[in-house]
Structure 1
Amino acid sequence: MAILAGKAVVITGAGQGLGRAFATHAAASGAAVVINDVDEPLAGQVAELITLMGGKAVVSAGSVTDPDQAQAMIDTCTAAFGRIDGLVNNAGIRYQAAIGQDDPKRMRELIEINVLGTLYCTNAAVQSMRRGSIVNLGSVAMVGQPTALTYSASKGAVASITAGAAAELHDKGIRVNAVCPIAWTRMAAADSKAVPSGPPETIAPLVTYLLSDRAAKITGQLIRFANGRLHVMGQTSPKEPVIENDEWDVDAIAEAFEERIELEDPAWVRWGVGR
Protein backbone atom coordinates (compact mmCIF):
# COMPACT_ATOMS: atom_id res chain seq x y z
CA MET A 1 0.00 0.00 0.00
CA ALA A 2 1.20 3.51 -0.83
CA ILE A 3 2.69 5.20 2.24
CA LEU A 4 0.19 8.10 2.21
CA ALA A 5 -2.86 6.15 1.10
CA GLY A 6 -6.05 7.57 2.59
CA LYS A 7 -4.43 10.82 3.74
CA ALA A 8 -5.30 14.36 2.68
CA VAL A 9 -2.65 17.06 2.75
CA VAL A 10 -2.37 20.77 2.02
CA ILE A 11 0.83 22.08 0.43
CA THR A 12 1.41 25.82 0.18
CA GLY A 13 3.44 27.42 -2.59
CA ALA A 14 2.95 24.25 -4.62
CA GLY A 15 2.77 25.79 -8.08
CA GLN A 16 6.46 25.31 -8.80
CA GLY A 17 9.82 24.38 -7.32
CA LEU A 18 9.91 22.47 -4.05
CA GLY A 19 6.17 22.74 -3.48
CA ARG A 20 5.36 21.21 -6.85
CA ALA A 21 7.81 18.36 -6.17
CA PHE A 22 6.29 17.78 -2.72
CA ALA A 23 2.77 17.73 -4.14
CA THR A 24 3.44 15.34 -7.00
CA HIS A 25 5.45 12.97 -4.80
CA ALA A 26 2.80 12.96 -2.06
CA ALA A 27 0.09 12.28 -4.65
CA ALA A 28 2.14 9.47 -6.19
CA SER A 29 2.44 8.07 -2.67
CA GLY A 30 -1.35 7.92 -2.28
CA ALA A 31 -2.29 11.30 -0.77
CA ALA A 32 -5.12 13.54 -1.89
CA VAL A 33 -3.58 17.00 -2.21
CA VAL A 34 -4.73 20.60 -1.99
CA ILE A 35 -2.47 22.71 -4.21
CA ASN A 36 -2.07 26.25 -2.90
CA ASP A 37 -0.24 29.02 -4.73
CA VAL A 38 -0.63 32.73 -5.37
CA ASP A 39 -0.41 31.89 -9.09
CA GLU A 40 -3.67 30.07 -9.76
CA PRO A 41 -2.78 28.93 -13.32
CA LEU A 42 0.42 27.31 -12.03
CA ALA A 43 -1.49 25.62 -9.22
CA GLY A 44 -4.01 24.39 -11.77
CA GLN A 45 -1.26 22.87 -13.89
CA VAL A 46 0.06 20.89 -10.92
CA ALA A 47 -3.42 19.68 -9.99
CA GLU A 48 -4.04 18.65 -13.60
CA LEU A 49 -0.74 16.78 -13.72
CA ILE A 50 -1.60 14.88 -10.55
CA THR A 51 -5.04 14.02 -11.93
CA LEU A 52 -3.51 12.75 -15.18
CA MET A 53 -1.20 10.59 -13.06
CA GLY A 54 -4.29 9.01 -11.50
CA GLY A 55 -4.12 10.98 -8.26
CA LYS A 56 -6.48 13.37 -6.50
CA ALA A 57 -5.86 17.12 -6.31
CA VAL A 58 -7.79 20.36 -5.99
CA VAL A 59 -6.68 23.98 -6.07
CA SER A 60 -6.99 26.64 -3.38
CA ALA A 61 -5.30 29.73 -4.79
CA GLY A 62 -4.32 32.76 -2.76
CA SER A 63 -1.70 34.22 -0.47
CA VAL A 64 -0.77 32.62 2.84
CA THR A 65 -0.44 36.16 4.23
CA ASP A 66 -4.25 36.32 4.28
CA PRO A 67 -5.59 34.42 7.32
CA ASP A 68 -8.94 34.02 5.56
CA GLN A 69 -7.18 32.32 2.66
CA ALA A 70 -5.28 30.10 5.09
CA GLN A 71 -8.61 28.99 6.53
CA ALA A 72 -10.08 28.60 3.05
CA MET A 73 -7.42 26.12 1.95
CA ILE A 74 -8.05 23.98 5.03
CA ASP A 75 -11.80 24.14 4.41
CA THR A 76 -11.18 23.15 0.79
CA CYS A 77 -9.30 20.08 1.98
CA THR A 78 -11.98 18.93 4.42
CA ALA A 79 -14.77 19.65 1.94
CA ALA A 80 -13.10 17.81 -0.95
CA PHE A 81 -11.57 14.91 0.92
CA GLY A 82 -13.43 14.75 4.24
CA ARG A 83 -10.35 15.27 6.40
CA ILE A 84 -6.92 16.87 6.73
CA ASP A 85 -3.94 14.79 7.81
CA GLY A 86 -1.02 16.93 6.78
CA LEU A 87 0.18 20.46 6.09
CA VAL A 88 3.38 21.49 4.34
CA ASN A 89 4.22 25.16 4.97
CA ASN A 90 6.34 25.56 1.87
CA ALA A 91 5.35 29.02 0.60
CA GLY A 92 8.22 31.46 0.98
CA ILE A 93 10.42 34.06 -0.66
CA ARG A 94 14.00 35.26 -0.27
CA TYR A 95 16.26 37.95 -1.64
CA GLN A 96 19.75 39.30 -1.03
CA ALA A 97 20.35 42.71 0.55
CA ALA A 98 23.17 44.13 2.65
CA ILE A 99 22.35 45.40 6.13
CA GLY A 100 21.61 49.11 5.90
CA GLN A 101 20.54 48.82 2.27
CA ASP A 102 17.43 46.70 2.72
CA ASP A 103 14.01 47.91 1.63
CA PRO A 104 11.50 47.97 4.52
CA LYS A 105 8.66 47.04 2.16
CA ARG A 106 10.51 43.93 0.98
CA MET A 107 11.43 43.08 4.57
CA ARG A 108 7.79 43.24 5.63
CA GLU A 109 6.64 41.19 2.64
CA LEU A 110 9.17 38.45 3.38
CA ILE A 111 8.26 38.23 7.06
CA GLU A 112 4.54 38.19 6.25
CA ILE A 113 4.95 35.27 3.82
CA ASN A 114 7.63 33.21 5.56
CA VAL A 115 6.59 33.74 9.18
CA LEU A 116 2.97 34.90 9.35
CA GLY A 117 2.03 32.56 6.50
CA THR A 118 3.40 29.61 8.46
CA LEU A 119 1.56 30.74 11.58
CA TYR A 120 -1.76 31.42 9.84
CA CYS A 121 -1.80 28.08 8.02
CA THR A 122 -0.77 26.14 11.11
CA ASN A 123 -3.39 27.92 13.21
CA ALA A 124 -6.11 27.05 10.70
CA ALA A 125 -5.00 23.46 10.14
CA VAL A 126 -4.91 22.33 13.77
CA GLN A 127 -8.55 23.28 14.23
CA SER A 128 -9.57 20.49 11.84
CA MET A 129 -6.62 18.07 12.12
CA ARG A 130 -7.31 15.31 14.62
CA ARG A 131 -3.98 13.58 14.20
CA GLY A 132 -1.34 14.20 11.61
CA SER A 133 1.84 15.95 10.58
CA ILE A 134 2.94 19.50 9.86
CA VAL A 135 6.16 20.03 7.89
CA ASN A 136 7.69 23.50 7.85
CA LEU A 137 10.38 24.75 5.49
CA GLY A 138 13.41 25.88 7.45
CA SER A 139 16.90 26.81 6.33
CA VAL A 140 20.43 26.71 7.67
CA ALA A 141 20.34 30.45 6.96
CA MET A 142 18.73 30.68 10.41
CA VAL A 143 22.23 30.47 11.94
CA GLY A 144 23.18 33.68 10.13
CA GLN A 145 23.93 34.38 6.49
CA PRO A 146 25.52 37.52 5.03
CA THR A 147 23.26 39.73 2.87
CA ALA A 148 20.21 37.73 3.93
CA LEU A 149 19.39 39.15 7.36
CA THR A 150 15.62 39.28 6.90
CA TYR A 151 15.49 35.80 5.39
CA SER A 152 17.71 34.44 8.16
CA ALA A 153 15.42 36.03 10.76
CA SER A 154 12.37 34.47 9.15
CA LYS A 155 13.88 30.99 9.20
CA GLY A 156 14.93 31.45 12.82
CA ALA A 157 11.29 32.20 13.52
CA VAL A 158 10.22 29.07 11.62
CA ALA A 159 12.55 27.00 13.82
CA SER A 160 10.89 28.49 16.92
CA ILE A 161 7.43 27.87 15.49
CA THR A 162 8.39 24.26 14.86
CA ALA A 163 9.65 23.73 18.41
CA GLY A 164 6.74 25.52 20.07
CA ALA A 165 4.04 23.85 17.99
CA ALA A 166 5.60 20.40 18.44
CA ALA A 167 5.56 20.83 22.21
CA GLU A 168 1.99 22.10 22.34
CA LEU A 169 0.50 19.65 19.86
CA HIS A 170 2.28 16.50 21.00
CA ASP A 171 -0.57 15.33 23.24
CA LYS A 172 -3.03 15.88 20.37
CA GLY A 173 -1.14 13.47 18.14
CA ILE A 174 0.04 16.18 15.75
CA ARG A 175 3.72 16.08 14.85
CA VAL A 176 5.62 19.19 13.72
CA ASN A 177 9.02 19.14 12.04
CA ALA A 178 11.03 21.36 9.73
CA VAL A 179 13.20 20.40 6.80
CA CYS A 180 16.23 22.51 5.89
CA PRO A 181 16.91 21.57 2.28
CA ILE A 182 19.16 22.63 -0.53
CA ALA A 183 17.73 22.25 -4.03
CA TRP A 184 18.10 24.27 -7.20
CA THR A 185 14.94 26.34 -7.47
CA ARG A 186 14.01 29.85 -8.51
CA MET A 187 14.47 30.90 -4.87
CA ALA A 188 17.95 29.37 -4.73
CA ALA A 189 18.85 31.25 -7.89
CA ALA A 190 18.24 34.48 -5.94
CA ASP A 191 21.06 33.54 -3.56
CA SER A 192 24.38 34.62 -5.04
CA LYS A 193 26.20 32.27 -2.63
CA ALA A 194 23.98 29.23 -3.23
CA VAL A 195 25.77 25.89 -3.15
CA PRO A 196 25.31 23.74 -6.30
CA SER A 197 22.58 21.22 -5.63
CA GLY A 198 20.11 18.78 -7.12
CA PRO A 199 16.55 19.35 -8.32
CA PRO A 200 13.58 19.78 -5.96
CA GLU A 201 12.53 16.18 -6.56
CA THR A 202 15.49 14.99 -4.48
CA ILE A 203 13.95 16.57 -1.35
CA ALA A 204 10.40 15.29 -1.80
CA PRO A 205 10.87 11.77 -0.32
CA LEU A 206 11.83 13.28 3.05
CA VAL A 207 8.65 15.39 3.18
CA THR A 208 6.51 12.41 2.17
CA TYR A 209 8.14 10.33 4.89
CA LEU A 210 7.50 12.99 7.56
CA LEU A 211 3.84 13.17 6.48
CA SER A 212 3.48 9.41 6.86
CA ASP A 213 2.75 7.23 9.86
CA ARG A 214 6.20 5.67 9.53
CA ALA A 215 7.52 8.91 11.08
CA ALA A 216 5.15 8.63 14.05
CA LYS A 217 7.94 9.07 16.61
CA ILE A 218 9.55 12.09 14.95
CA THR A 219 8.52 15.56 16.11
CA GLY A 220 10.15 18.86 17.01
CA GLN A 221 13.11 18.18 14.72
CA LEU A 222 15.09 20.38 12.34
CA ILE A 223 16.21 18.04 9.59
CA ARG A 224 18.95 18.99 7.16
CA PHE A 225 18.78 17.31 3.74
CA ALA A 226 21.17 18.47 1.06
CA ASN A 227 23.43 17.03 -1.62
CA GLY A 228 22.87 13.45 -0.51
CA ARG A 229 23.47 14.17 3.18
CA LEU A 230 20.75 13.71 5.83
CA HIS A 231 21.08 14.68 9.48
CA VAL A 232 19.27 16.28 12.39
CA MET A 233 20.42 19.71 13.52
CA GLY A 234 21.27 20.35 17.17
CA GLN A 235 18.74 22.08 19.38
CA THR A 236 19.47 25.16 21.47
CA SER A 237 20.52 24.19 25.00
CA PRO A 238 22.69 25.47 27.88
CA LYS A 239 26.41 24.85 27.60
CA GLU A 240 28.43 23.90 30.66
CA PRO A 241 29.72 25.30 32.88
CA VAL A 242 26.79 27.18 34.42
CA ILE A 243 28.42 29.53 36.93
CA GLU A 244 26.57 30.70 40.03
CA ASN A 245 27.47 33.67 42.22
CA ASP A 246 25.56 35.35 45.02
CA GLU A 247 26.47 38.73 43.53
CA TRP A 248 27.58 39.67 40.04
CA ASP A 249 29.51 42.80 39.08
CA VAL A 250 31.46 43.69 35.96
CA ASP A 251 34.70 42.20 37.32
CA ALA A 252 33.01 38.91 38.25
CA ILE A 253 31.41 38.66 34.82
CA ALA A 254 34.71 39.48 33.12
CA GLU A 255 36.51 36.82 35.19
CA ALA A 256 33.90 34.24 34.22
CA PHE A 257 34.37 34.89 30.52
CA GLU A 258 38.15 35.27 30.69
CA GLU A 259 38.92 32.24 32.85
CA ARG A 260 36.00 29.83 33.15
CA ILE A 261 33.62 30.01 30.18
CA GLU A 262 34.79 28.51 26.90
CA LEU A 263 33.13 30.21 23.96
CA GLU A 264 32.21 28.23 20.87
CA ASP A 265 32.43 29.41 17.30
CA PRO A 266 29.20 30.99 16.06
CA ALA A 267 27.05 28.62 14.06
CA TRP A 268 27.71 30.50 10.84
CA VAL A 269 31.43 29.87 11.29
CA ARG A 270 30.92 26.15 11.90
CA TRP A 271 28.60 25.82 8.92
CA GLY A 272 30.60 28.05 6.60
CA VAL A 273 29.55 31.47 5.32
CA GLY A 274 26.92 31.27 2.60
CA ARG A 275 26.04 27.60 3.05
Structure 2
Amino acid sequence: MLAGKAVVVTGAGRGLGAEYAVQSAEHGASVVVNDVDVDCAEAVAERIRGFGGRVAVSGHDVGDPEQATALVAMCAGEFGRIDGLVNNAGLNYEAVSWQDAPEPVAELIRVNVLGTIYTGTAAAQVMADSGGGRIVNISSGASFGQRKLATYAASKGAVASLTYSWALDMEEIGVQVNAVCPVAYTRMVEASSRRATIIPPDRGPDLVAPLVVFLLSDAAKGITGQMIRCNGEQLHVVGQPYLKEPILRRERWSAETVRRAFDEIFGAHLEPYGLEKRLPPRLRERVEALQTA
Protein backbone atom coordinates (compact mmCIF):
# COMPACT_ATOMS: atom_id res chain seq x y z
CA MET A 1 0.00 0.00 0.00
CA LEU A 2 2.92 2.38 0.64
CA ALA A 3 5.51 1.06 -1.79
CA GLY A 4 7.90 3.77 -2.93
CA LYS A 5 6.79 6.27 -0.30
CA ALA A 6 8.82 7.90 2.47
CA VAL A 7 7.11 8.47 5.81
CA VAL A 8 8.08 10.16 9.08
CA VAL A 9 6.50 8.90 12.29
CA THR A 10 7.13 11.03 15.38
CA GLY A 11 7.11 9.56 18.86
CA ALA A 12 7.68 6.16 17.28
CA GLY A 13 9.89 4.60 19.93
CA ARG A 14 7.10 2.63 21.60
CA GLY A 15 3.37 2.00 21.75
CA LEU A 16 1.16 3.32 18.97
CA GLY A 17 3.95 5.20 17.21
CA ALA A 18 6.08 2.09 16.97
CA GLU A 19 3.24 0.18 15.33
CA TYR A 20 2.54 3.01 12.90
CA ALA A 21 6.19 2.91 11.85
CA VAL A 22 6.49 -0.89 11.64
CA GLN A 23 3.27 -1.42 9.72
CA SER A 24 4.10 1.45 7.34
CA ALA A 25 7.39 -0.28 6.59
CA GLU A 26 5.63 -3.63 6.19
CA HIS A 27 3.50 -1.98 3.53
CA GLY A 28 6.59 -0.84 1.62
CA ALA A 29 7.35 2.64 2.96
CA SER A 30 10.81 3.91 3.82
CA VAL A 31 10.37 5.15 7.38
CA VAL A 32 12.05 7.66 9.66
CA VAL A 33 11.49 6.43 13.22
CA ASN A 34 11.61 9.55 15.38
CA ASP A 35 11.76 9.63 19.17
CA VAL A 36 13.67 11.69 21.72
CA ASP A 37 14.51 8.32 23.31
CA VAL A 38 16.92 7.25 20.59
CA ASP A 39 17.49 3.80 22.09
CA CYS A 40 13.76 3.04 21.80
CA ALA A 41 13.71 4.39 18.25
CA GLU A 42 16.68 2.21 17.36
CA ALA A 43 14.92 -0.87 18.75
CA VAL A 44 11.92 -0.18 16.50
CA ALA A 45 14.28 0.35 13.55
CA GLU A 46 15.82 -3.07 14.24
CA ARG A 47 12.36 -4.64 13.95
CA ILE A 48 11.99 -2.99 10.55
CA ARG A 49 15.45 -4.02 9.39
CA GLY A 50 14.58 -7.55 10.47
CA PHE A 51 12.14 -7.93 7.59
CA GLY A 52 14.23 -5.95 5.11
CA GLY A 53 12.58 -2.55 5.48
CA ARG A 54 14.32 0.76 4.79
CA VAL A 55 14.58 2.84 7.93
CA ALA A 56 16.40 5.78 9.49
CA VAL A 57 16.47 6.80 13.14
CA SER A 58 15.91 10.34 14.42
CA GLY A 59 16.25 11.77 17.92
CA HIS A 60 14.92 15.22 16.98
CA ASP A 61 12.70 17.05 19.46
CA VAL A 62 9.60 18.09 17.49
CA GLY A 63 8.76 20.78 20.03
CA ASP A 64 11.81 22.73 18.81
CA PRO A 65 11.03 24.38 15.45
CA GLU A 66 14.58 24.03 14.13
CA GLN A 67 14.74 20.36 15.05
CA ALA A 68 11.31 19.73 13.54
CA THR A 69 12.50 21.24 10.27
CA ALA A 70 15.70 19.19 10.46
CA LEU A 71 13.64 16.01 10.95
CA VAL A 72 11.75 16.62 7.72
CA ALA A 73 14.98 17.49 5.92
CA MET A 74 16.49 14.25 7.19
CA CYS A 75 13.71 12.23 5.57
CA ALA A 76 14.17 14.05 2.27
CA GLY A 77 17.93 13.59 2.51
CA GLU A 78 17.81 9.89 3.38
CA PHE A 79 15.06 8.83 0.99
CA GLY A 80 14.87 11.64 -1.54
CA ARG A 81 11.32 12.64 -0.63
CA ILE A 82 8.66 12.86 2.07
CA ASP A 83 5.21 11.57 1.21
CA GLY A 84 3.68 11.10 4.63
CA LEU A 85 3.89 12.38 8.18
CA VAL A 86 2.32 10.88 11.28
CA ASN A 87 2.26 13.47 14.07
CA ASN A 88 2.18 11.03 16.97
CA ALA A 89 4.67 12.47 19.48
CA GLY A 90 2.92 13.47 22.65
CA LEU A 91 2.94 13.68 26.43
CA ASN A 92 0.23 12.97 28.95
CA TYR A 93 -0.27 13.12 32.69
CA GLU A 94 -3.17 13.13 35.11
CA ALA A 95 -3.98 16.08 37.35
CA VAL A 96 -7.01 17.53 39.07
CA SER A 97 -7.65 20.65 37.01
CA TRP A 98 -7.50 23.21 39.82
CA GLN A 99 -4.18 21.73 41.00
CA ASP A 100 -2.47 21.65 37.59
CA ALA A 101 0.99 23.22 37.51
CA PRO A 102 2.42 25.61 34.89
CA GLU A 103 5.58 23.60 34.11
CA PRO A 104 3.95 20.32 32.98
CA VAL A 105 1.22 22.28 31.19
CA ALA A 106 3.79 24.22 29.18
CA GLU A 107 5.82 21.13 28.30
CA LEU A 108 2.77 19.16 27.20
CA ILE A 109 1.55 21.99 24.97
CA ARG A 110 5.06 22.44 23.57
CA VAL A 111 5.21 18.82 22.41
CA ASN A 112 1.57 17.97 21.66
CA VAL A 113 0.51 21.19 19.96
CA LEU A 114 3.61 23.12 18.89
CA GLY A 115 5.40 19.91 17.91
CA THR A 116 2.52 18.99 15.64
CA ILE A 117 2.45 22.48 14.13
CA TYR A 118 6.21 22.75 13.60
CA THR A 119 6.64 19.31 12.03
CA GLY A 120 3.46 19.49 9.97
CA THR A 121 4.31 22.92 8.59
CA ALA A 122 7.83 21.84 7.67
CA ALA A 123 6.53 18.70 5.96
CA ALA A 124 3.83 20.60 4.06
CA GLN A 125 6.40 23.04 2.69
CA VAL A 126 8.35 20.15 1.15
CA MET A 127 5.20 18.36 0.00
CA ALA A 128 3.96 21.51 -1.72
CA ASP A 129 7.07 21.50 -3.92
CA SER A 130 6.77 17.81 -4.75
CA GLY A 131 3.10 17.53 -5.68
CA GLY A 132 1.43 16.72 -2.39
CA GLY A 133 1.36 14.21 0.43
CA ARG A 134 -0.46 12.92 3.47
CA ILE A 135 -0.45 14.19 7.05
CA VAL A 136 -2.06 12.12 9.79
CA ASN A 137 -2.40 13.91 13.12
CA ILE A 138 -3.05 11.89 16.25
CA SER A 139 -5.89 13.40 18.27
CA SER A 140 -7.95 11.75 21.00
CA GLY A 141 -11.49 11.27 22.19
CA ALA A 142 -10.23 13.03 25.33
CA SER A 143 -10.83 16.25 23.37
CA PHE A 144 -14.53 15.76 24.13
CA GLY A 145 -13.66 16.27 27.81
CA GLN A 146 -12.17 13.78 30.26
CA ARG A 147 -11.62 13.90 34.01
CA LYS A 148 -8.08 14.61 35.24
CA LEU A 149 -6.84 15.07 31.66
CA ALA A 150 -7.86 18.67 30.98
CA THR A 151 -4.53 19.86 29.58
CA TYR A 152 -4.08 16.74 27.46
CA ALA A 153 -7.68 17.05 26.25
CA ALA A 154 -7.10 20.69 25.34
CA SER A 155 -4.00 19.78 23.35
CA LYS A 156 -5.87 17.10 21.41
CA GLY A 157 -8.75 19.48 20.78
CA ALA A 158 -6.19 21.86 19.32
CA VAL A 159 -4.90 19.07 17.08
CA ALA A 160 -8.44 18.40 15.87
CA SER A 161 -9.01 22.08 14.99
CA LEU A 162 -5.60 22.23 13.37
CA THR A 163 -6.54 19.23 11.22
CA TYR A 164 -9.71 20.89 9.92
CA SER A 165 -7.88 24.14 9.17
CA TRP A 166 -4.89 22.48 7.52
CA ALA A 167 -7.22 20.39 5.35
CA LEU A 168 -8.81 23.61 4.08
CA ASP A 169 -5.51 25.39 3.50
CA MET A 170 -3.57 22.49 2.02
CA GLU A 171 -6.08 21.03 -0.40
CA GLU A 172 -4.84 23.38 -3.11
CA ILE A 173 -1.28 22.00 -2.80
CA GLY A 174 -2.38 18.36 -2.84
CA VAL A 175 -1.80 17.63 0.84
CA GLN A 176 -4.52 15.64 2.58
CA VAL A 177 -4.78 16.06 6.35
CA ASN A 178 -6.75 13.78 8.65
CA ALA A 179 -6.76 12.97 12.35
CA VAL A 180 -7.02 9.64 14.11
CA CYS A 181 -8.43 9.06 17.59
CA PRO A 182 -6.81 5.79 18.64
CA VAL A 183 -7.94 3.68 21.58
CA ALA A 184 -5.41 1.03 22.56
CA TYR A 185 -3.78 -0.54 25.58
CA THR A 186 -0.35 1.12 25.82
CA ARG A 187 2.28 1.83 28.45
CA MET A 188 0.57 5.19 29.03
CA VAL A 189 -2.74 3.45 29.68
CA GLU A 190 -1.13 0.84 31.90
CA ALA A 191 0.25 3.62 34.09
CA SER A 192 -3.30 4.84 34.71
CA SER A 193 -5.25 2.34 36.80
CA ARG A 194 -8.48 4.18 35.98
CA ARG A 195 -8.08 3.93 32.21
CA ALA A 196 -6.48 0.49 32.32
CA THR A 197 -9.78 -0.90 33.58
CA ILE A 198 -11.54 0.54 30.51
CA ILE A 199 -9.18 -0.64 27.75
CA PRO A 200 -8.47 -4.40 27.86
CA PRO A 201 -4.86 -5.54 27.31
CA ASP A 202 -5.81 -7.43 24.14
CA ARG A 203 -6.69 -4.11 22.44
CA GLY A 204 -3.11 -3.48 21.31
CA PRO A 205 -1.65 -0.69 19.14
CA ASP A 206 -1.21 -3.14 16.26
CA LEU A 207 -5.00 -3.16 15.81
CA VAL A 208 -5.16 0.61 15.24
CA ALA A 209 -2.16 1.01 12.93
CA PRO A 210 -3.91 -0.27 9.74
CA LEU A 211 -6.09 2.86 9.77
CA VAL A 212 -3.00 5.07 9.73
CA VAL A 213 -1.44 3.02 6.92
CA PHE A 214 -4.60 3.46 4.86
CA LEU A 215 -4.72 7.24 5.41
CA LEU A 216 -1.08 7.53 4.30
CA SER A 217 -1.78 5.62 1.10
CA ASP A 218 -3.11 6.58 -2.33
CA ALA A 219 -6.14 4.42 -1.55
CA ALA A 220 -7.30 7.29 0.70
CA LYS A 221 -7.34 9.77 -2.18
CA GLY A 222 -10.07 12.38 -1.69
CA ILE A 223 -10.35 11.85 2.08
CA THR A 224 -9.30 14.95 4.00
CA GLY A 225 -10.41 17.03 6.98
CA GLN A 226 -11.74 13.97 8.80
CA MET A 227 -11.37 12.71 12.35
CA ILE A 228 -11.59 8.94 12.53
CA ARG A 229 -11.74 6.83 15.68
CA CYS A 230 -10.56 3.24 15.96
CA ASN A 231 -10.31 1.04 19.03
CA GLY A 232 -9.26 -2.05 17.11
CA GLU A 233 -12.80 -3.37 16.99
CA GLN A 234 -14.83 -0.29 16.09
CA LEU A 235 -14.08 2.10 13.25
CA HIS A 236 -16.09 5.26 12.69
CA VAL A 237 -15.95 8.87 11.56
CA VAL A 238 -16.23 11.41 14.37
CA GLY A 239 -18.83 14.12 13.82
CA GLN A 240 -17.57 17.68 13.65
CA PRO A 241 -18.97 20.54 15.77
CA TYR A 242 -22.13 22.13 14.41
CA LEU A 243 -24.63 24.88 15.25
CA LYS A 244 -27.54 23.24 17.00
CA GLU A 245 -31.16 24.14 16.30
CA PRO A 246 -33.16 26.05 17.37
CA ILE A 247 -31.35 29.28 16.49
CA LEU A 248 -33.14 32.21 18.10
CA ARG A 249 -33.03 35.66 16.52
CA ARG A 250 -33.54 39.12 17.94
CA GLU A 251 -32.35 42.48 16.69
CA ARG A 252 -30.58 42.96 20.02
CA TRP A 253 -30.14 40.65 23.00
CA SER A 254 -30.19 41.83 26.61
CA ALA A 255 -29.20 39.85 29.70
CA GLU A 256 -32.92 39.49 30.50
CA THR A 257 -33.91 38.16 27.06
CA VAL A 258 -30.95 35.74 27.16
CA ARG A 259 -32.19 34.53 30.57
CA ARG A 260 -35.66 33.99 29.15
CA ALA A 261 -34.23 32.09 26.16
CA PHE A 262 -32.53 29.63 28.51
CA ASP A 263 -35.49 29.38 30.88
CA GLU A 264 -38.06 28.84 28.16
CA ILE A 265 -36.21 27.14 25.30
CA PHE A 266 -32.51 26.35 25.59
CA GLY A 267 -32.85 24.70 28.97
CA ALA A 268 -34.27 21.65 27.21
CA HIS A 269 -31.54 21.68 24.53
CA LEU A 270 -28.39 21.78 26.62
CA GLU A 271 -25.76 19.24 25.51
CA PRO A 272 -24.35 16.40 27.61
CA TYR A 273 -20.64 17.06 28.12
CA GLY A 274 -17.48 15.02 28.38
CA LEU A 275 -16.81 11.47 27.27
CA GLU A 276 -19.15 10.25 29.98
CA LYS A 277 -21.97 12.37 28.50
CA ARG A 278 -22.83 14.07 31.78
CA LEU A 279 -26.03 16.10 31.77
CA PRO A 280 -25.75 19.77 32.86
CA PRO A 281 -27.41 20.31 36.27
CA ARG A 282 -30.25 22.38 34.80
CA LEU A 283 -31.07 19.63 32.29
CA ARG A 284 -30.81 16.96 34.99
CA GLU A 285 -33.36 18.89 37.04
CA ARG A 286 -35.73 18.99 34.06
CA VAL A 287 -35.35 15.25 33.46
CA GLU A 288 -35.89 14.43 37.14
CA ALA A 289 -38.97 16.65 37.22
CA LEU A 290 -40.44 14.84 34.21
CA GLN A 291 -39.69 11.44 35.74
CA THR A 292 -41.46 12.30 38.99
CA ALA A 293 -44.40 14.10 37.37
- Give the gaps of 5 or more residues in structure 2: 280-293
Corresponding residue for 1:266?
273
Structure 1 segments, 4+ long, off by >4 Å, are none
By how many angstroms is 1:264 displaced?
2.3
The runs of 5 or more residues in structure 1 that have no matched partner are none
1:234-253 CA distance string (max 9 Å, x none): 10111111111012112211
C-alpha deviation, 1:268, in angstroms: 3.1
- Structure 1 residues 107 and 192 mapped into 2: Cα distance closer, same or farther (>3 Å)? farther
User: 1:242-257 alignment to 2 at 5 Å?
Assistant: 242-257=247-262
Residues 122-155 of structure 1: CA deviation (Å, up to 9, x unaligned)? 0110111131110111111101111111111111
Contact 1:94 1:190 (8 Å CA) reproduced: no
| Residue 211 (structure 2) pairs with residue 202 (structure 1) | no
Q: Distance in 1 between matches of 2:278 and 2:28?
A: 37
**TM-score, normalising length: structure 1:** 0.94
Residue matched to 1:160: 161
Tell me what 1:231 maps to.
236
Deviation (angstroms), 1:184: 1.1
1:220 paired with 2:216, answer no
Encode CA deviations 1:19-57: one digit per residue, 9 max, x unaligned. Answer: 110100000001000110001121112222212211100
Q: How far 1:189 moved relative to its partner?
A: 2.2
Question: What CA distance in whole angstroms lies between the structure 2 residues aligned with 1:247 and 1:131?
Answer: 47
Amino acid corresponding to residue 117 of structure 1 in structure 2:
G
Alignment partner of 2:125: what SS?
Answer: coil
Aligned to 1:28: 26
Aligned pairs (5 A) from 1:49-198 = 49-129=47-127, 130-194=131-195, 195-197=198-200, 198=203
SS of residue in 1 equivalent to 2:86 = strand
Q: Report how far residue 271 of structure 1 moved.
A: 8.3
Q: What displacement does 1:15 show? A: 0.9
How many Å separate the matches in 1 of 2:86 and 2:105?
Answer: 23
Provide the C-alpha distance between the structure 1 equivalents of 2:134 and 2:214, rounded to a whole number of angstroms.
Answer: 10
> CA–CA distance in 2 between the matches of 1:230 and 1:102?
33
Residue 270 of structure 1 and its aligned partner are, at CA, apart by 2.8
Task: Confirm or deny: 8 A CA contact 1:95 1:190 kept in the other structure.
Answer: no
Structure 1 distance, partners of 2:114, 2:22, is 25
Partner SS, residue 100 of structure 1: helix
Q: Secondary structure at the match of 2:2?
A: coil
1:44 aligns with 2:49: no
For 2:174 and 2:192, locate their aligned partners in 1 and report how far apart those are by CA, in whole Å.
37
- Which amino acid counterpart does residue 20 of structure 1 have in structure 2? A
Identical aligned residues as a percent: 49
**Structure showing the higher helix proportion among its residues:** 2
**Counterpart of 2:3 in 1: which secondary structure?**
coil
- Distance in structure 1 (CA, Å) of the matches to 2:275 and 2:45: 39
